[in-house]
Structure 1
Amino acid sequence: MNGLVSLIGAGPGNPELLTLLGKRRLEEADVIVYDRLVNPAMLSPFVAEKIDVGKLPLHHKVSQYQINDMLVDLSKQGKRVVRLKAGDPYVFGRGGEEGQYLSQNKIPFEVVPGLTSAIAGLAAAGIPITHRDFASSFHVITGHRKANGKELDWENIAHQEGTIVFLMGMAQLPNITTQLIAHGMASETPVAVVQWATHWKQRSVSSDLANIVKTVNEMQITSPALIVVGGVVKLMGALQPHQPLQGLHFLIPYKQDSKLFNALQDEGAAVNFFDRRVKKPLAFDLPDFNAGGTLIVTDFAAFHYFQERLLTLGVDNRALTNWKLVACNHIVKYRLQEDGLLADELYDPKKLDYHRPVVFIGERVALSTYNAAIKADYIATYQSETVDQNIDLNDFHGIVFPSSASVADLYTGCTSDERELMSHLRCFAMGQTVADECQKLGLKNVIAVKPSYDNVIQTVKKVFSR
């Protein structure tokens, strides 16, 4: 049976502008075939196989014909396929051509619309595409045409009322302005160019038809960018958003429904994820619960696997009644509390009672850091396996580490060159223990923050306002 192919619009760039149906289809997908302009942060949460078929201007590493055949072949293997495109698949995204090809090959498909940059990209720069005082209509025109295509009907375009938006037109900007003026549009007509709309590196400039090419060259604005012509451009200064962390790009560990992600984005920052190490459960023996003693939880994942082992034996947390529960840091303490358990205290090796059993639970390698210093029993409930990160750290202004484990997750997955870049990035460590881990690994620009999201936001604002 052929699998469903979903042609999904990813929106202009901000991962939170994806539709709910688009998100659900990505969660259900076996394979995601995605374009160059899709934000990597949008792909991070999904476990499907990911295939990059991105196209650069004048360079297509995978042709459209190959993409069409790929979608058909994957569907015929019974896989659920997402074809993920920036913007909307049917607004100059060649989604119509892909849909035709799928239909001709009897492949079931659907279209999940996305926010087109022609509208959302303008809004991000403070330009409404319509306004009662300036435009009651709008026209969206592609800067690309088929190789044998005719010249655009400039006479018609130049005399249209309302807002005119050119997509994929940066290479044609000099020709666009020349043709519009030559066919009767006033040379003082307002024009704006918005680059990387809704991304962290969004930039926008405005001028008029006579001078926009000069302005764009002076400011070095290049593709991907959209061009907007019309009176609505006059509103850009008044309506352009100004948020405290706008233009900043942060790297954080992946977590589903991340509150840290939300907190940073709400202040205008762009956020991307690095992958956590893969956790593999281990077989282990449980301690003698009747004996009582001190149970030291070095990380919450370890305790999660510990709980799962209890439940398989028909036992729950009540088995720990005779045990003092100790959290290794504030993060573990908080996570235990979220799970309905209050830690008796935070870990301090000087306070341990060695007259009764002392048991550490944690990740296999991490537990070895305690072995030499403290005589106790150690239960490794899982082991972590490194994931190659493949992240261009040059694109980031800072990294936020909520835990020591997250520091190790990123560091161990980086190449030596990436570690060198990482060592000079601003690293915001949530708690002194996390800061110590950063410094132990040679990170030079470490900023310790009290472990709360609000403290992270306030500290980031102070650091980048200097």
Structure 2
Amino acid sequence: MRGQITLIGAGPGEPELLTVKAVRKLQEADAVFYDRLINQDLLNYCSDECELIDVGKKPKHHKVPQSEIENLIIEKAKEGKRVVRLKSGDPYVFGRGGEEGKRIIEEELIFEVIPGITSAIGGLAYAGIPITHRDFASSFHVITGHLKSEDNQLDWDVLAKTEGTLVFLMGMSELQTITSELMKHEKNKETPVAIVRWATRKDQKTVTGTLETICQIAEEEKMTSPSLIVMGDVVTQRDYLNFYESRPLFGKRIVLPHTCKKNMYHRLIDAGASVFELPKLIKKEMTDIFSLENKERLVFLDADSVSFFVGKLQEMNQDIRQLQHVDFVTIGHHTELAVKKLGILPIETYAVLSDYQLEKDNLEKTLFIGEKSYVNQLEQLNPTIDSYVPFEVTSPVIPENEFSEADYFFLPSSKAAHYFLKDLGKENKDMLKNKKIIVMGAITAKIFETQEIPVIQSENPSFESVLDKIIEEEM
């Protein structure tokens, strides 16, 4: 099978600005070559088997030379692999996509391009600046800010007299030259100018001025690469159209468990936050066995334990139908649903573990089945309970920068709190200084309070209430 290479435009930074086709190609890829400027969250679309190769380019420093990048891509494709070259913005807007594409075609490999939203348009939109406007600009020009090479000299006289919007990409190191040359060639020094750094991301920053003042403003505000420079009357529309930076959670980083993604991810994104999803817990089945002799009551403490329990029954050559004499009790709605899928109706379901009263049971005839942290809670109340822990849980390593960059940690359950604190370690509690922890219930709050870690509890145990609480904290 011939390999194939897809050049994908990753867009300006916001992960959801990626095209649907680009997502599919990332999911199918065997190898992905990516640059420094792409949002690392996009790599989550790749399979576990996909090889991720960082060829990141920094200003004035190329980690891997362009010719070597092309060689590596072609080499992988000739192995019959599906290769993706993931580039920020659009591959054909100062992205060297044309050069790479020509080289790939010369090697007789299958080749395609998936366009991306260029920062020259999408990045400006997120800063509240339309690149065209009926009243202000009927045309636009996108210009590279790399002015050093002899074959890339700009005609400043033409640019200064050009009507419409001027956008300079990769031009921060030449800002002084760009502004002075345009004024030297009689462009109005009062022309509105904006600089947008890290457009569409949580740390987006925009400053405005005029052709005459923007250099001083950029220096005072410490504006650095990667930034867009835009000139023209369209900049004045930012006062009305700045939707992104005016969102209530703009610039805030929120960490939450993957189990909350469906309910919370888009709520937070739409409120302006950026979100880091904690990796899934790794569950490994235990080799322990259990005895059901004389048991009349099975209490399931979590939903995962139900499937592990049934699997262990089968290993022991037993059948769920042999438990007709046994009462099933569940803790939590999801656990109840898991038992019902077996065709069994629990005789009792408790919303949370703290609602369950041990003293009313004949403990000798009761088996508690669940994850270790839940069993531990019961053993603190009565160490003589008979329990079965069907699986062991370990947490993947969480990048240290996600702790340091986070503003909020949302931990919706005692289980999430338990593993969060376990991963953090007592010696690292100081890392939570200046961070805010949001919880939904009193039980979860108490876990932190016992370790003298302050938390914020939502008004009621709903995701909408959590969002309202975070926004309230920021108002």
- TM-score over 0.5 for the pair: yes
Structure 1 counterpart of 2:146, one-letter code: H
Measure, in 2, the Cα distance between the counterparts of 1:417 and 1:36: 33
Structure 2 counterpart of 1:54, one-letter code: G
Match of 1:263 among 257, 267, 285: 267
State yes or no: 1:378 paired with 2:383. no
Q: Deviations over 1:285-308 (max 9, x none)?
A: 5764995413232x3333343456
User: Could you tell me which residue of structure 1 aligns to residue 8 of structure 2?
Assistant: 8
Aligned with 1:175: secondary structure? helix
Match of 1:460 among 454, 457, 470: 470
For the Cα contact (< 8 Å) 2:300–2:335, is it kept in 1? no
Aligned with 2:389: secondary structure? strand
Structure with max Cα Rg: 2
Q: Deviations over 1:248-277 (max 9, x none)?
A: 121222359532111111111111223233
Q: CA 1:361–1:398 in structure 2 vs 1: closer, same or farther (change >3 Å)? A: same
Aligned with 1:70: secondary structure? helix
Aligned with 1:200: secondary structure? coil
Measure, in 1, the Cα distance between the counterparts of 2:159 and 2:173: 18
Give, in angstroms, the shift of residue 367 of structure 1: 4.2
Measure, in 1, the Cα distance between the counterparts of 2:321 and 2:157: 77
Q: CA 1:41–1:77 in structure 2 vs 1: closer, same or farther (change >3 Å)? A: same
Measure, in 2, the Cα distance between the counterparts of 1:39 and 1:94: 19
Measure, in 1, the Cα distance between the counterparts of 2:313 and 2:217: 67
Give, in angstroms, the shift of residue 228 of structure 1: 0.7
For the Cα contact (< 8 Å) 2:197–2:204, is it kept in 1? yes
Q: CA 1:420–1:162 in structure 2 vs 1: closer, same or farther (change >3 Å)? A: same
User: Could you tell me which residue of structure 2 aligns to residue 353 of structure 1?
Assistant: 361
Q: Deviations over 1:31-87 (max 9, x none)?
A: 332222222333335333333222221122222223222212222333322222221
Structure 2 counterpart of 1:18, one-letter code: L
Give, in angstroms, the shift of residue 207 of structure 1: 1.2
User: Could you tell me which residue of structure 1 aligns to residue 398 of structure 2?
Assistant: 389
Match of 1:63 among 38, 45, 65: 65
- Please identify, of 429-438 and 200-209, the stretch whose mean Cα deviation from structure 2 is larger: 429-438
Give, in angstroms, the shift of residue 309 of structure 1: 5.6
Match of 2:430 among 420, 423, 432: 420
User: Could you tell me which residue of structure 2 aligns to residue 305 of structure 1?
Assistant: 308
Measure, in 1, the Cα distance between the counterparts of 2:241 and 2:324: 58
The share of aligned pairs that are identical, in percent, is 36
Give, in angstroms, the shift of residue 421 of structure 1: 1.6
Measure, in 2, the Cα distance between the counterparts of 1:430 and 1:222: 40
State yes or no: 1:200 paired with 2:209. no
User: Could you tell me which residue of structure 2 aligns to residue 153 of structure 1?
Assistant: 155
For the Cα contact (< 8 Å) 2:295–2:365, is it kept in 1? yes
For the Cα contact (< 8 Å) 1:34–1:51, is it kept in 2? yes
User: Could you tell me which residue of structure 2 aligns to residue 252 of structure 1?
Assistant: 256
Q: CA 1:62–1:367 in structure 2 vs 1: closer, same or farther (change >3 Å)? A: farther
Q: Deviations over 1:440-461 (max 9, x none)?
A: 5x57342233432111111111
Mind listing any 5+ residue stretches in structure 2 that lack a counterpart? none
Aligned with 1:210: secondary structure? coil
For the Cα contact (< 8 Å) 1:41–1:273, is it kept in 2? no
Matches within 5 A, 1:29-40: 29-40=29-40
Give, in angstroms, the shift of residue 463 of structure 1: 1.5
Aligned with 2:142: secondary structure? strand
For the Cα contact (< 8 Å) 2:306–2:339, is it kept in 1? no
Aligned with 2:23: secondary structure? helix
Measure, in 1, the Cα distance between the counterparts of 2:324 and 2:280: 30
Aligned with 2:64: secondary structure? coil
Measure, in 1, the Cα distance between the counterparts of 2:44 and 2:428: 19
Q: CA 1:198–1:322 in structure 2 vs 1: closer, same or farther (change >3 Å)? A: same
State yes or no: 1:432 paired with 2:435. no
Measure, in 1, the Cα distance between the counterparts of 2:468 and 2:42: 26
Q: CA 1:147–1:408 in structure 2 vs 1: closer, same or farther (change >3 Å)? A: farther
- Please identify, of 15-24 and 386-395, the stretch whose mean Cα deviation from structure 2 is larger: 386-395
Measure, in 2, the Cα distance between the counterparts of 1:113 and 1:321: 63
Give, in angstroms, the shift of residue 119 of structure 1: 0.7
Give, in angstroms, the shift of residue 104 of structure 1: 2.5
State yes or no: 1:399 paired with 2:409. yes
Give, in angstroms, the shift of residue 109 of structure 1: 2.6
Scaled by the length of structure 2, the TM-score of the pair is: 0.86
For the Cα contact (< 8 Å) 1:428–1:448, is it kept in 2? yes
Structure 2 counterpart of 1:12, one-letter code: P
- Please identify, of 351-360 and 83-92, the stretch whose mean Cα deviation from structure 2 is larger: 351-360
Measure, in 2, the Cα distance between the counterparts of 1:320 and 1:175: 84
Q: RMSD over aligned Cα, in angstroms?
A: 3.1
User: Could you tell me which residue of structure 1 aligns to residue 25 of structure 2?
Assistant: 25
Give, in angstroms, the shift of residue 200 of structure 1: 0.9
Q: CA 1:307–1:439 in structure 2 vs 1: closer, same or farther (change >3 Å)? A: farther
Measure, in 1, the Cα distance between the counterparts of 2:19 and 2:321: 40
Structure 2 counterpart of 1:10, one-letter code: A
Mind listing any 5+ residue stretches in structure 1 that lack a counterpart? none
Aligned with 2:209: secondary structure? strand
Structure 2 counterpart of 1:191, one-letter code: V
Task: Give the total of aligned pairs.
Answer: 459
Measure, in 2, the Cα distance between the counterparts of 1:316 and 1:180: 81
Give, in angstroms, the shift of residue 224 of structure 1: 1.2
Structure 2 counterpart of 1:16, one-letter code: E
Q: CA 1:207–1:423 in structure 2 vs 1: closer, same or farther (change >3 Å)? A: closer
Aligned with 1:83: secondary structure? strand
User: Could you tell me which residue of structure 2 aligns to residue 293 of structure 1?
Assistant: 297
Measure, in 2, the Cα distance between the counterparts of 1:414 and 1:2: 47
Measure, in 2, the Cα distance between the counterparts of 1:40 and 1:29: 16
Measure, in 2, the Cα distance between the counterparts of 1:61 and 1:120: 27
Match of 1:273 among 277, 289, 292: 277
Scaled by the length of structure 1, the TM-score of the pair is: 0.87
Structure 2 counterpart of 1:457, one-letter code: L
